[in-house]
Amino acid sequence: MGGESRSKKVIRVLFIASEAAPLVKAGGLGDVAGALPAALNRLGAVVGGASAEVRLVIPFYNSIKTSNISATFIRKFKVSTLNGAVEAGLFETSLSGVVTYLVSGAPVSESASIYGKDFKEDAEKFVFFSLACLKIPSLIGWKCDILHANDWHTAVAIHHLATAKKKNASLQTTRSVLTIHNLPFMGSGVDEALVKYKISPSNDDNLPNWGKTQPLPMGLAAADRIVAVSPTYAKEILTPEYGCDLQDFLRKRSGHLTGILNGIDVESWDPATDPALKFNFAVSNFTTRSQNKRALLAEFGFPVESDVPLLALVSRFDWQKGIDIIIAGLRAMKNFAWRAILLGTGERNLEQACRDLEDEMPGKVRAAILFDVQLSRRIYAGADLLLMPSRYEPCGLSQMYAMRYGCLPIARATGGLADTVSDPLSSTAPTGFLFPNADASSFITALKRALRLYKKRAFWQAMQFNAMSRDFSWSVSARNYLDLYTQLSENSSIMSEP
């Protein structure tokens, strides 16, 4: 009887984020918010014990309004400021079967894009959105058990939750989770917006003074649980190298910190069915993969020679990603047999450096300075090696996409890269290559190892099979998040009957 009663319990989660694919996507956070809520809801249907009912909230950006999405208007409401109330609108739609709310209002509609040029430009938009999210449970008559926020954009909601509980019965027993996708992005420069929306600074004495008025530290101080997007990153942010001057504070909160690796959409990213590929393949018909390499070489004007290793970069061009390390490494290895395709956009100097490398080595390098998801899929399916010498990488998704498509990563052993890539030097089931230091010398050493092993075709193919067989599905991550929600709910007896 008790087991049957427990199986009926549901944990109601309001999942709030600044973006969610495919409605709106600018980065990896969009992939997470677009996939994790759906994975959690699916998990509840097949796993005994507590299940989750997750509802998603994102801003109602102009780009969503002008798309073909069907959204039902629910009601108007107000968010108070020192200068009077700001009107907000609540709309409902569905995303991958998840009830999804869209919040409109002048601070959102007056923004020309998802993210502006700096935190200050985005400050009011996301402070307004965070406070609006706290009103949603009472507006829809839905008791919220867990408030799950993501990064600095929604961290103010976690900070302000204690105040909101005093006025909102739907939040009385709400516990909070804050996921860190990228710690350095804390929301500096939002002081004026915090004052305007009557948000008090954090009173946590463990926070450095500068962090008491920055959204992400404020949320980290108030959250019941903190999640980093990989187990290794959860450890790294406790150190001076990665902690962004919050390492002492985070060490004091380490008992409330955990690392949960992000997943990928294995149905969308499936080489057996991907419509972006000219030749679909799987482990069971792997010989077809080589046709994708030949097609990719032809597409970029290279000689169609499958025995020469094809290297690939698919990335945002940013200092974090180690693009300069790749350029220095390839330049130093110009006399080795390889070809490379460099795909991405970002910092102008790095874009130009990639163009310059192509000019220097027109027979070996192609620089594709653009954002093209379909092309990235063809590259994963045709290239032999993906280059990821990140200086830090909280989780990383590209290496998971690449492995699923039989493209082996060469990656710095940091964050999620260390958690997902297995090296022949340390694993009996290797899936790629790792190197320790964020410099060209360390990268070159790993690349030389990879080029030597490339010649051992049976071993190389076994590595590809290992990589393609890894389970990076969201169901694994969802199980870990549901366990976390359950721990919180059992500690506070918040589970509700559906």
Name the 3-class secondary structure at 275.
Answer: coil
- Res. 6 pLDDT band, cuts 50 70 90: very low
Verify that 480 and 370 share a domain, yes or no: no
**Residue 390 pLDDT more than 50?**
yes
The CATH number of residue 484's host domain is: 3.40.50.2000
> Which domain does 17 fall in, by range?
2-263+475-492
- d(Cα 7, Cα 12) in Å, to the nearest integer? 14
Query: Count of CB atoms within 10 A of residue 363's CB?
Result: 8
DSSP, residue by residue, 66-119? TSS---EEEEEEEE--TTS-EEEEEEEEEETTEEEEEEEEHHHHT-SSSS-SSH
Angle between the N-to-C axes of helices 457-469 and 440-454, in degrees from 0 to 180, rounded to the nearest 10: 110
Tens of pLDDT, residue by residue over 288-314, are 999 999 999 999 999 998 799 999 999
Contact present, 101 and 55 (Cβ < 8 Å): yes
289 and 353 inside one domain: yes
In DSSP notation, 342-358 reads: EE--B-HHHHHHHHHHH
Element holding 314 (H helix, E strand): strand 310-314
Do 12 and 67 sit in the same domain of this protein? yes
Residue 274 counted as domain residue = no
Looking at the fold, whether 256 and 314 belong to one and the same domain comes out as no
Q: Does residue 493 register a pLDDT over 70? A: no
The percentage of the chain sitting over the pLDDT mark of 70, rounded to a whole number, equals: 96
For 378, the token pair is 């063809």
421 falls within a domain: yes
DSSP element (H, E) containing 129: helix 119-140
Note the pLDDT of residue 492: 58
pLDDT exceeds 50 at position 497: no
- Whether residue 466 is found in the same domain as residue 480: no
pLDDT of the residue at 48: 61
- Beta strand 86-95 with 51-59: parallel, antiparallel or unpaired? unpaired
More confident of the two residues 153 and 113: 153
Give me the pLDDT at residue 1, please.
38
148-158: average pLDDT: 98
Examine the pLDDT at 368 and tell me if it is beyond 90.
yes
Residues 16 and 61 placed together within one structural domain of the fold: yes
Q: Which residues contact 123 (CB under 8 A, 6 or more apart)?
A: 187, 189, 190, 192, 193, 194
φ/ψ of residue 229, rounded to 5: -85, 20
Q: Are residues 30 and 171 in the same domain?
A: yes
> What's the mean per-residue pLDDT of the chain?
94
Q: Where are the alpha helices (DSSP H) in 361-493?
A: 373-382, 398-404, 415-420, 440-454, 457-469, 474-492
Instruction: Give CB contacts under 8 A, 24+ apart, made by 485-488.
Output: 485/11, 485/13, 485/50, 485/52, 485/145, 485/146, 485/177, 486/11, 486/49, 486/50, 488/146, 488/175, 488/177, 488/224, 488/225
pTM above 0.85, yes or no: yes
The structural domain count of the chain equals: 2
Between 8 and 353, residue with greater pLDDT = 353
- Pairing mode of beta strands 72-79, 86-95: antiparallel
> What pLDDT, on the 0 to 100 scale, is given for residue 419?
98
Q: Is 87 exposed, middle or buried (0-12, 13-18, 19+ CB in 10 A)?
A: exposed
Task: Judge whether 172 lies within some domain.
Answer: yes
Q: How far is it, in rounded angstroms, from Cα 137 to Cα 122?
A: 25
Task: Give yes or no for a contact between 179 and 149, defined as CB atoms under 8 angstroms apart.
Answer: yes
Interval 150-155 mean pLDDT? 98
CA distances from 12 to 9, 56, 474 (A): 10, 11, 19
Tell me: do 222 and 288 sit in the same domain. no
Q: 331 vs 357, 386, 450, 465, 467, CA distance in Å? A: 8, 17, 17, 31, 28
Q: What is the pLDDT of residue 100?
A: 98
In a domain, 270, yes or no: no
Going by pLDDT thresholds of 50, 70 and 90, the confidence category of residue 7 is very low
For 400-459, the pLDDT digits (tens) are: 999 999 999 999 999 999 999 999 999 999 999 999 999 999 999 999 999 999 999 999
For 26, 75, 235, 357, 440, the CA distances from 423, given in Å and listed in that order, are 31, 54, 20, 29, 19
CB 249 within 8 A of CB 257: no
**Inside any domain, residue 22:** yes
CA 164 – CA 160 distance, rounded (Å): 6
Q: Given this model, what pLDDT does residue 44 score? A: 67
Q: Which amino acid is at 113?
A: S
Cα(first)–Cα(last) distance of the chain, in Å?
17
Backbone angles phi, psi at 148, to 5 degrees: -115, 110
Same domain, 446 and 484: no
Q: Using an 8 Å Cβ cutoff, are 368 and 343 in contact?
A: yes
Cα distances from 130 to residues 153, 221, 442, in angstroms, run 8, 16, 43
Reported as a pLDDT band with limits 50, 70 and 90, residue 4 is very low
Identify the pLDDT of residue 489. 87
Residue 335 and residue 300 share a domain: yes
Give mean pLDDT, residues 79-103.
96
Bridge-partner residues for 30, per DSSP?
none
Identity of residue 311:
L
Decide if 271 is inside a domain. no
Same structural domain, 292 and 190: no
User: At 285, is the pLDDT very low, low, confident or very high (cuts 50, 70, 90)?
Assistant: very high
> Stretch 13-31: mean pLDDT, rounded?
93
285 Cβ contact list (under 8 Å, min separation 6): none
161 located within any domain: yes
Residue 338 lies in a domain: yes
Q: How many CA atoms lie within 13 A of 268 on its CB side?
A: 15
- Two tokens, residue 254: 């380490």
Please report, rounded to a whole number, the percentage of residues in the chain having pLDDT higher than 90: 89
pLDDT at 166: 87
Does residue 40 sit in the same domain as residue 69?
A: yes
Looking at residue 112, what is its pLDDT?
Answer: 79
For residue 157, give the nearest of 84, 223, 83, 229 by alpha carbon.
223
Helices 119-140 and 215-222: angle between axes, nearest 10 degrees: 40
